[in-house]
Amino acid sequence: MVDTLSEKEIKHFINNGFVRLDNSFSEEIADAALEILWNDLPYDRSNPATWIEPVIRLGMYTNEPFVNSVNTQKLHNAFNQLIGKDKWIPCRSVGTFPIRFPSKQQPNDTGKHVDASFPGNDPNDFLEWRINIKSKGRALLMLILYSDVTENDAPTIIYEGSHIDVARILSFEGDLGLSFMDLAGKLERLPTRKSVYATGKRGTVYLCHPFLVHSAQPHNGSRPKFMAQPPLLLRDELSISDSDIDCSPIEQAIRLGID
């Protein structure tokens, strides 16, 4: 049996901005990835007293367990359904890891935001990276769980349906779009949206519309949280014209905001 998204799941993605896929990759792959990450951390895995920072960020990971985790047939089928066959680029990295530890210290990265997808004048200045109405460069935001995440383990907060609000904002900004910081400054004025926690067992993946507003939060649990949030890259720019021919779910969602 081919593992594909149901019509209900596709409609949920269009209207709410995300779809959750359980068991997207095996526990064995997740555990192999965790071994690599713990070896790179400055903390003792068996001694919570050494976990002194609320967030530790580790660099780009291209090791086999990470690449395998984002290239399962289940995920590829979903990419084809949401974006279109041959319209996305397979992941060869899962990017950086913001690893969150139980802490009374507040992390400094809990603001609402939308991930940017193409550089501004200075490619090295992340805050000046940009987002435009055609989501230049980015097909999806992926939240990939390598550890079990409960509501106490600092799950990412997803603001359901906020991608439609962001599409409306970006529709007035042309191909240049807005910088990460300029768009972030507008998010608090958006309509109140339902908060959804990105929880799940390791191997769970949330496929999110690139315009979906989300935020981190403090860790109130007891186990470190390991999650990657790489982009799925586009081969070509999206079409947001009035034509319904070959309009993918990601494009349909953008048009909800424009309309």
In a domain, 109, yes or no: yes
In a domain, 25, yes or no: yes
Domain count, the chain: 1
> Among 5-19, 109-123, 237-251, which range has the highest average pLDDT?
5-19
The domain spanning residue 112 has which CATH number? 2.60.120.620
pLDDT of residue 88 exceeding 90 = yes
Element (H, E) at 57: strand 55-58
In a domain, 179, yes or no: yes
Q: How do beta strands 178-179 and 227-228 pair?
A: unpaired
In a domain, 113, yes or no: yes
pLDDT digits (tens, 9 = 90+) for 174-205: 999 999 999 999 998 999 999 999 999 999 99
Let me know how long the chain is.
Answer: 259
pLDDT given at position 244:
61
pLDDT category, 243, cuts 50, 70, 90? Answer: low
In a domain, 12, yes or no: yes
- Cα distance between residue 204 and residue 155, in whole Å: 12
Domain that holds residue 167: 7-258
- Cα distance between residue 238 and residue 247, in whole Å: 9
Give the tokens for residue 9. Answer: 């799941």
Using a 10 angstrom Cβ sphere, with 0-12 exposed, 13-18 middle and 19 or more buried, the burial of residue 203 is buried
pLDDT digits (tens, 9 = 90+) for 147-181: 999 999 999 999 999 999 999 999 999 999 999 99
pLDDT given at position 2:
62
The answer, as to whether pTM is greater than 0.85, is yes
249 in Cβ contact with 8 (< 8 Å):
no
In a domain, 166, yes or no: yes
pLDDT given at position 219:
95
pLDDT given at position 158:
98
| Lowest mean pLDDT across 18-27, 123-132, 151-160, 227-236 | 123-132
pLDDT digits (tens, 9 = 90+) for 51-85: 999 999 998 899 999 999 999 999 999 999 999 99
Q: At a CB cut-off of 8 Å and minimum separation 6, what does 221 contact?
A: 102, 150, 152, 153, 154
Average of per-residue pLDDT values in the chain: 94
In a domain, 37, yes or no: yes
Helical ranges in 19-93 per DSSP H: 27-40, 64-69, 73-83
In a domain, 230, yes or no: yes
